[in-house]
Amino acid sequence: MTLALAFSVRRMLERDMLVRVLASAETTGEVTCLLLDKTGTLTVNEQRVRRAWIAGVDVGPLDDDLDDAARTETIARDVAALDDAVVTLASILLAINTTVTRDAEGTILRGSRQEIALLRFVQSLNGDDESFATTILAQFPLVKLFPFTAERKRMCTLFMLRDGVEDEEAGGRVVIRAAVKGAAQDILSQCSTVLNARGKKRPLDDTTRSTLSRAFESWQRDAERVLLIAYRDVERDHVSPRDATTMCERMSVEDAESRLVLVAAVGMSDPIRPEAPKSVATCRRAGVDVKMVTGDSLSTAVAVARRCGILDDDDVSRACMTGEEFRERVVDQASLDAVWPDLRVLARASPADKYALTNGIRASTTRRGRQVVGVVGDGTNDAPALRRSDVGFALGSGTETAREASDIVLLRDDVASVVEAIGYGRNVFQSIEKFIAFQLTANVTCVVVSVGGALAYSRAPLSAIELLFVNLVIDSLASLALATDPPSDDALRRRPADAAALVDDAARVNIVAQVAYQLCVVRYLMDRFGPDDAQIFTAFVLMQLANQCNCRATSNRIDVFAGVGDNPLFVALLAAEILLVVVIVQRGGAVFHTRPLDVGEWCRCVAFALGSLPLRTVAATFLVSLAAAIREDARLLSSRRGDGESTNRR
């Protein structure tokens, strides 16, 4: 097991997967439920503004294949219908309501992909003026920031308007303004007025609110994240900067974000990773239940889930819900067990929702059996769920807190790495299964031959030094060889691994068949040539080496040599084992009590060894299929008896 884990961890690192907790390299093979983040995992996290709505005027759509010059030209053409003051106001609200960090020259040092994309949009709104955002920050001092939270789903910035900045409606007296940016439905509910193309405010009545809500929802159905931009003049009297600072420090977030003026809406697109649909399909085929947990709106989440293959067209109503609905319906473990098996998409989810879902699935008592949960996250808020999961995957571009809370860091930031990690985890279990099958076959045969030969012939056919060679050399080299096989495609076609059932039906049948075959061969050689003949030891060891090849194939795979060329170490070790056997038999007579064999005797021993290969094929196909058919017939018979007894009782 240690060898298998060591090889797996090294290969995972070569594939840009950093294993922080050694045991997780094995646990990934048991994952039955995978909770995926959307941004950066299923999408490329290269966000761009695809369209906008500014004071009643539509901007875009802006195709992803447009270069910067073409985007700027399209935006300039669309905003021509707007008053310049409206464009300036929208630009100021976007430029100042950000957490992007800049250096002294205004160059962006650090910030989220979303906020950087919004600042580029501001630059395009102002004729590709790269200094616009820096100028705004210099002219309008930031006083207070209410950061984005998963509960509010918006952020708010309080800033001062200096003297000389015209605000016609406020008569130049406005010195404190709140800029708010956030999710569409959260901001829209806080707005009481809306700006028109001429810069005039008008009441946001129910009809207009409903029209805008439908328009924004159509953007979300196109897999776009919709952000609304609004503001409020929180102080209309001329006050000193010191008084303004004092007022802002005392102001609550509820006061700052109420009775807002809606200015603009922005639709952000984030392309689906090309490999995401295939990776999701691979997980589902491998028996892993894939769910998406995101803070985006339900419409956006559903659109992305459909494109990735997480969600089928016919299960939207029962497989999707928002965080609010989740919190209402899930009050205990029983209610969670009624929800999670059908759940595919959890939208507008908070970190607490993600943690509750992770913890609930792990503690589930449904008939599906024990659940092993994998969680993918990249933010600080994901840390509790990452720690609570059986295996936590953190994106390499995520926060330090998320990486510290994880078991495996995905340096490539995509869902394909998660699938590969699951494959490597299952390969660890397969390596253990291979070695157990090999050891059981060799040891059972050794015990029966030694004991039976001693009872029947008054001496053991295998000497102590020969048994020591088999256990110390052959078994050790075989364990190393079987532990070095890379993951095969077959690993992701099977159900998740189960540590409580390492040896499956195919392995059991093969063990019994190989033990029976080897005992028959040894019995024949002892009866024909006597218990002291060197052919017994030679045939016995060669049969173990042939069975070593048999054990490479798990389940009912027929070709035991498939992919052997991808593992030169296995070939080298097998060749070394064969060479050792030849040298010991031909030259080790004084120590191992053997004698040199002639060509005919070697051919006989090799033929017996090769006979175990087709035997494994028969056992893996006919006998396993026969056992499965017998079990199915027994199940049907039991079901019919149960139905008959029920009918008789009626």
Give residue 415's Cα distance to chain centre: 5
Spatial distance between the Cα atoms of 281 and 346, rounded to a whole number of angstroms: 19
pLDDT in tens, 532-574: 888 999 999 999 999 888 888 776 677 778 777 778 888 888 8
Q: What is the pLDDT of residue 171?
A: 42
Q: Over the range 489-522, which residues count as b (16 or more CB within 10 Å of their CB) and which as e? A: ebbbebebbeeeeeebbbbebbbebbbebbeebb
Q: What is the pLDDT of residue 119?
A: 83
CATH class held by domain 48-269: alpha beta
Spatial distance between the Cα atoms of 390 and 113, rounded to a whole number of angstroms: 30
Residues of the chain with pLDDT under 50: 163-174, 646, 650
The residue whose two tokens read 């789903």 is: 153
Spatial distance between the Cα atoms of 507 and 502, rounded to a whole number of angstroms: 9
Give residue 611's Cα distance to chain centre: 43
Q: What is the pLDDT of residue 165?
A: 39
Answer whether 426's CB lies under 8 Å from 488's CB.
Answer: no
Domain spans, the chain: 17-43+272-411, 48-269, 423-634
Answer whether 374's CB lies under 8 Å from 393's CB.
Answer: yes
Q: How far is CA 593 from CA 257, 464, 544, in A?
A: 91, 10, 20
The fold for domain 17-43+272-411 equals Rossmann fold (3.40.50)
Answer whether 91's CB lies under 8 Å from 132's CB.
Answer: yes
The token duo for 649 is 């009782």
CATH of 423-634, one of 1.20.1110.10, 1.10.10.10, 1.20.1260.10, 1.40.20.10: 1.20.1110.10
The one catalytic residue among 16, 37, 414, 475: 37
> What's the number of CA atoms in the CB half-sphere (13 Å) around residue 417?
28
Spatial distance between the Cα atoms of 548 and 542, rounded to a whole number of angstroms: 10
Bridge partners, 225 (sequence order): 268
Q: What is the pLDDT of residue 648?
A: 52
Answer whether 286's CB lies under 8 Å from 492's CB.
Answer: yes
342 is catalytic: no
pLDDT in tens, 242-278: 777 777 777 788 888 888 899 999 998 888 888 889 9
